[in-house]
Amino acid sequence: MQKAKENSIVNIAILLSGSGSNMEVILKNTLHGVLKDVCQVKAVISNNKETRGLKIASSNGIPTFFVNAKNKSRQLFEEEIIQLLQPFNIDYIILAGFMRILSPHLVNAYPNRIINIHPADTAKYQGACGYEWAFKNKLSETMITIHYVDEGLDTGPAIAKQKVDLRGTSTLNEVKHKGLKVEHLLYSNVLKEIFNAKQSH
């Protein structure tokens, strides 16, 4: 697979609602890791003003934005995001713990260019609290899924899946810790493959 050309680095925006650990790793990798010269984080947006993720992005000099989702339609909320992103020439939107279901308004603004990571096999479990589901059901493994986003709840086509062995875990925290470790590695590697493949065409 060919490497991304230097003058065609992919511009990404990251949307998050929570702690932002996936965003943090992706950002680090764009600065001095596997995503260097492949893509750059142009903006980070959250619907949660106080999230750690916004603070981390902003302390790394990344433009960050809070968009309030309360008391407005999904269309209006997403239109604000679309407008905010416009000046940044965004190629891909990367969801990293963004706890909102997208409507066709945003999905159609970035067709096949919105990617999400899910802590379970999207064929078996959709929606929030994937690690809680695995823990409650005493699963011996879960399957991290990276997928394109459509307007359904974790229904878009899968891009990559990776198994996480949960045997030996006895608390929810251990399950999360094991899973996130895999997420952090997988997300950047998969993004690298997607963007490099795109650039070599």
Strands 158-165 and 64-66: unpaired
Token duo for residue 75: 């269309």
Q: Pick between residue 4 and residue 156 the one whose CB is nearest to ligand GRF.
A: 156
CA dihedral 21, 200, 8, 28 (to 10 degrees): 20
When CB distances to ligand GRF are compared, the closest residue is 97
The candidate with the shortest Cα–Cα distance to 144, out of 113, 99, 167, 178, is 178
Contact criterion met (CB below 8 Å) for 199 and 4 = yes
Q: Pick between residue 52 and residue 199 the one whose CB is nearest to ligand GRF.
A: 52
CB of 41 to ligand GRF, least distance (A): 14
Instruction: Please give the sequence-ordered ranges of beta strands (E in DSSP) within 17-151, or none if there are none.
Output: 39-46, 64-66, 92-95, 114-118, 141-148
CB of 22 to ligand GRF, least distance (A): 3
Where does this chain bind ligand GRF (CB under 6 A)?
16, 18-22, 96-97, 117-119, 183
CB of 161 to ligand GRF, least distance (A): 12
Q: Pick between residue 39 and residue 96 the one whose CB is nearest to ligand GRF.
A: 96
Annotated catalytic residue 184: no
Catalytic residues: 118
